[in-house]
Amino acid sequence: MTPQPAGPPDGGWGWVVAAAAFAVNGLSYGLLRSLGLAFPDLAEHFDRSAQDTAWISALALAVQQAASPVGSALSTRWGSRPVVMVGGVLASLGFVFSAFARSLLHLYLGLGLLAGSGWALVFAPALGTLSRYFSRRRVLAVGLALTGNGASSLLLAPALQLLLDTFGWRGALLLLGAITLHLTPCGALLLPLALPGDPPAPPRSPLAALGLGLFTRRAFSIFALGTALVGGGYFVPYVHLAPHALDRGLGGYGAALVVAVAAVGDAGARLVCGWLADQGWVPLPRLLAVFGALTGLGLWVVGLSWGGPLLAAAVAYGLSAGSYAPLVFGVLPGLVGIGGVVQATGLVMMLMSLGGLLGPPLSGFLRDETGDFTTSFLVSGSLILSGSFIYIGLPKALPSCGPASPPATPPPERGELLPAPQAVLLSPGGPRSTLDTTC
């Protein structure tokens, strides 16, 4: 038997797992974010509307996230490695099948159902496994893994446009299928890690494996409701940022540049915010609410911008959205404990699928009705602001009027959020510690 370590190693092979999660995120969400560049070609080829083509990404997002608890349950029962490897094969087959599509229904089945199912088996298990390898630097590690989204968008957006111009949308999808197959070796790097507090045996009941009992915890229920609302607007730019730039007259490569600069801001913010959150200067729920609200405001600015200012607005949106992303997953161990983090990740992804399913088609419908994406981005930003307001109900989301407890290091693994750290003020007598008593 492999002896259990005293706690998460906070490094070592964990950085290899972080690199694997980086690639998994890039080959799922990063690829899906860039896929919107192909939608104008698909709409023209099949003579369909923007709303109809938006259902491709909407279904892929919805299936990926709605089925994420299944991926978490399977990884809890059999381990993350085989589950992620099988998911990589399914996602690749979805792209290959879609390259031979004769109707939008074939794309719904290939990219939406088959590729979405493969992505459902890779993301939550990879990110949940990564959270188990880290404690003190957990949010930084998650932020590093989530930069795969922005880095992949930065590379794939112009590359996909080049593939579309050179090989057409069929050849581009076929090549993307070969690229997506690299999820399989990423899964092989997810070595299992036994930690204190883990159950002695995997849960045998399907309901227990899904982790539905986590909804009985008030803090997790508040978090889940807020995240579901945020999901209604958060994924709209993944699908319609590039078409929005095309509508603004920036052209194909100009639209790719808008996606790329948003990806740069997104990737950089994930690392910086991950480091900032791990310092413990501000409680994670408070950061979550603040950056969620900034993301909603950023979408408003994107929707109201034209031409050159749209590039600056895309950067601002990328910075805020990138700061929000690692906090969503970094706060989970404090809400449910390290033993339930894989299941909690899958459940949160399932709740966000409601927004992923409804948000992009609603955005496409509003575009068809109004003639542009301005209203779409305003509505999406409003949904994110609503979810950020719900986060205020989380523990420590608002400043406390009473003295705070001293911080604990490393974070407790029983599912309790860290107390707000003491502030150090400079005075003529030197640094002194003061309790956080501001309201």
Sequential DSSP letters for 291-306: HHHHHHHHHHHHHH--
What are the backbone angles phi and psi of residue 5, rounded to the nearest 5°?
-70, 165
Better pLDDT: 4 or 103: 103
Tens-digit pLDDT profile for residues 39-71: 888 988 888 887 788 788 878 877 887 888 888
Tens-digit pLDDT profile for residues 164-222: 999 999 999 999 999 999 999 999 999 988 877 677 777 777 777 788 888 888 889 99
Tens-digit pLDDT profile for residues 141-167: 988 898 887 678 778 878 888 999 999
Tens-digit pLDDT profile for residues 214-230: 888 888 999 989 998 99
Characterise 307 by phi-psi region: left (phi > 0), alpha (psi -120 to 50), beta (else).
Answer: left
State how far the alpha carbon of 168 is from the alpha carbons of 139, 173, 289, in Å. Answer: 40, 9, 42
* Average pLDDT of span 410-432: 42
Is residue 113 very low, low, confident or very high in pLDDT (cuts 50, 70, 90)? Answer: very high
> Which residues, including other chains, have CB under 8 Å from residue 353's CB and lie 6 or more apart?
61, 62, 63, 64, 65, 66, 68, 231
Q: What is the pLDDT of residue 433?
A: 39
Whole-prediction pTM value?
0.74
What the chain holds in terms of domains, given with CATH numbers, is: 8-193 (1.20.1250.20), 211-397 (1.20.1250.20)
Neighbours of 419 (CB within 10 A): 17
Q: What is the pLDDT of residue 409?
A: 42
What distance in Å separates the CA atoms of residue 114 and residue 84, rounded to the nearest whole number?
14
Neighbours of 423 (CB within 10 A): 14
* Average pLDDT of span 404-417: 46
Tens-digit pLDDT profile for residues 263-299: 788 888 888 888 888 888 888 999 999 999 999 999 9
